[in-house]
Amino acid sequence: MVHEERPMSTNSVSAKLPVFERYLSIWVIFCIIGGIVFGKVFPQAVSFLSRIEVAQVNIPVAVLIWLMIYPMMVQIDFSSIVRVGKRPKGLMVTLVVNWLIKPFTMTIFAVIFLKYLFSALISPALATEYIAGAILLGAAPCTAMVFVWSYLTKGNPAHTLVQVAVNDLVILIAFVPIVKFLLGVNQIIVPYDTLIYSTILFVVVPLAGGYISRQQLIKHKGAAWFENVFLRILKPITVLGLLLTLILLFAFQGNIIIKNPLHILLIAVPLTLQTYFIFAVGYFWARKWRIEHSIASPAALIGASNFFELSVAVAISLFGLKSGAALATVVGVLTEVPIMLSLVNFSNRTSHWFAKEEKIHPEEVIIMPKKRKLLWEKALIATDLSEASNEVVECVAKEGRDFTKTAKLVHIISVETAGGIDEALEKADKPAMEKQVEMLKNAEIDASYAFAYGLPSAEINRLINEENYQFLVLGSHSKSIVKEMFLGSVADSIISNLALPALLIKCKGGKPAVCPLVFSGKILFPTDFSDNAKAAFVTLTNLVSHYHPAVTLYHVQNKDIISPHLDYKIEEFNRIDAERLNKLKETLLKAGARGVKVKIETGHAKQAIIDEINGGNYNLVVMGTQGRGWIEEVFIGDVAHAVIRKSNTSILLVPFRK
């Protein structure tokens, strides 16, 4: 039976927000009242603060704005950019809506309502300033609250992180020319150098500071301290910075608001319509493209929400604290939460409109083998003709035709080693190669061999592509090709571009690797419930039907993605993921597993999986190479080397092929 969750009501969604975010509109109203009162009671203090400027930048406001923006930037893990190509449709929707549609529709709505429809209520001069503020809001997509909106609609947290990181980088390039163009079209003259200076001051500086400090703090203090101590210290500072900025802003804006209280409601009209309109564009485009809801919803919500901290900062820098542009950006803050909560509620109620790829129903995706079949028809075995490689070949031979029907042994001689004596090396190595081929033929495997020259990674990938192999076998206890392949930089080029399953057999202490023990012993299956994990699970199920091992299903609630925004939802995540793992367990038991354990932990994925492998006395690890969350990090760059070097168990890697 599939567990279906009823859509959350607006009240239940709101209740899931942290206290500050839940009542943001109320805090803004209090700031309006407090700022106006402060300006009336202490006019001299307000006048003094307004004069503390350097190069037309108000220093108290600049400091407060940095306190708002820096904590957002320091939370962004820009290494997530490596996942940019994993869900291209969702990212394309986000980028097109945010940068090619939203700034222009925001301007159109603002001009229609503020300049024309409300012309009897708003003077032309003020209307122009309000339009400028709206333009600044429209050109700055959300970078912080979107994590909350994504969570409330059960969005994919890893992909949301990618979207935010990419948008933050695009802001560096696109924000200035878009704002300059739209202001110019509306005959609002702003010096180009002033706009660039504001962007550097309020985007580049905090972004660079956030990136550098994040890297250094994690390096010297550790990720756990960064997430559990540093970010928790920053959060109240962010809140204080925002509230004090608003109070100061309204202290300067007091006379304008008292004279024109209706203007706040009038400004809110085009901003509200724009928010609903741009959400609809992204949401229904994603539906038309058949993007799953966990990607579609955050993609649409990023466009609907605004980076209002940046908009407020640039408005103050360009037009001043007392400007209508600054007031318009603050109205964006005022309307943000109630509008976004209504969109979250709509998204949850219409999630059934979208494809269900994110749901894991193993009984639907796993085709159970009706009889014992070959695991792989055609295998490529990399050998360096060492004693360890003999063990690898013996391992395959002991499985015989149950393992593969056809196999080719390949010995790759690097260009540096060959040095112009190719034929002599081949002649010297031929007897050892023929001996290994004979082992496979005696096991009724149709075996052949080949010599190749060049870079091991390039030659392996060339043979795979040209001769259509289904499986790659390598050993790790070696001093030549295999060592170079998996203990050096070549790991990236093979594993990152892996197009077929690969078995890395760890030969421990010179003892022979025994394949029946590897496959029929204890198997660990780490999963993040991605499409790649499904593909790996199909392979695992086939292994189970052949060898009937004991299996541990393992999932990590990755703090690198969850913290700090979603820490309070760990228990709910554990409950949902336990249900998923138990469905996988049922499938494996039906396939013939002699036992299945379910294990969920919270921590840092890379270290967690290494600790589990080395502490669990496993014979084999089966896992995907590209996941939607933390699995895809395991085999990129230094992490690949860490897992291969530090794990003591043979690993079967399964890529996802669309």
Sheet strands (E) in 371-430 = 376-382, 404-413
For residues 1 and 4, give the distance between their C-alpha atoms in angstroms, rounded to a whole number: 9
Q: Which fold has domain 10-353?
A: Na+/H+ antiporter like fold (1.20.1530)
Assigned fold of 514-650: Rossmann fold (3.40.50)
**Which of 177, 165, 245 lies closest to 207 in space, CA to CA?**
165
Tally Cβ neighbours within 10 Å of residue 65: 25
SS3 411: strand
> How many CA atoms does the CB half-sphere of 625 hold within 13 Å?
25
Integer Cα distance of 398 and 403 in angstroms: 9
- Between strands 53-54 and 57-58, the pairing is antiparallel
Sequence-distant (6+) residues with CB within 8 A of 222 are none
Pair 304, 336: CB distance under 8 Å: no
Q: Please give the distance of CA 35 from its chain centroid, rounded to a whole number.
A: 39
Divide the 658 residues of the chain into consecutive groups of 10 and give the mean pLDDT of each group.
41 52 72 84 82 72 78 68 63 92 96 94 92 92 72 73 79 89 84 75 81 85 77 77 78 71 91 95 92 88 83 82 84 81 88 63 40 68 78 78 82 61 73 87 87 77 83 63 43 60 69 51 85 84 85 86 72 85 90 89 83 83 64 42 68 74
Torsion of the alpha carbons at 139, 143, 147 and 150, rounded to the nearest 10: 20
How far apart are the C-alpha atoms of 516 and 498, rounded to whole Å?
A: 25
CA distance 142 to 148: 11
Nearest to 75 by CA among 227, 200, 201: 227
Name the segment(s) of the chain with CATH classification 3.40.50.620: 364-511, 514-650
Residue showing tokens 């930037």: 73
pLDDT of residue 250: 75
Between helix 24-41 and helix 43-50 the angle, nearest 10°, is 100
Q: What span, in angstroms and rounded, lies between the C-alpha atoms of 316 and 194?
A: 12
Model pLDDT, residue 369: 41
Instruction: With beta carbons less than 8 A apart as the criterion, state whether 289 and 153 touch.
Output: no
Residue 449: Cβ within 10 Å count = 18
Please choose, from the candidates 182, 584, 191, the residue with its C-alpha nearest in 3D space to the C-alpha of residue 363.
584
Q: Return the structure tokens found at 129.
A: 């300033």
CB distance 270 to 118 below 8 Å: no
Q: Render pLDDT for 241-298 as a digit per residue (tens, 0 to 9).
A: 777 877 887 787 666 677 777 898 999 999 999 999 999 999 999 999 888 888 899 8
- Six-digit token pair at 486? 């998996």
What would the two tokens of residue 378 be? 């055609």
> What local confidence, expressed as pLDDT, does residue 645 receive?
66
Q: Which CATH superfamily is domain 364-511 in?
A: HUPs (3.40.50.620)
CA distance 430 to 645: 31
Q: Are 396 and 404 in contact (CB under 8 A)?
A: yes
Q: How far apart are CA 468 and CA 280, in angstroms?
A: 45
Spell out the alpha helix ranges (H) of 475-549. 481-487, 490-495, 515-520, 531-547
Compute how many other C-beta atoms are within 10 angstroms of the C-beta atom of residue 657: 10
Please, where in the chain does CATH 1.20.1530.20 lie?
10-353
pLDDT in tens, 469-524: 888 887 754 444 444 444 334 444 556 566 788 887 776 544 444 444 467 788 99
pTM of the predicted model, to two decimals?
0.53
- The token pair at 606 is 């890379």
The DSSP H or E segment spanning 409 is strand 404-413
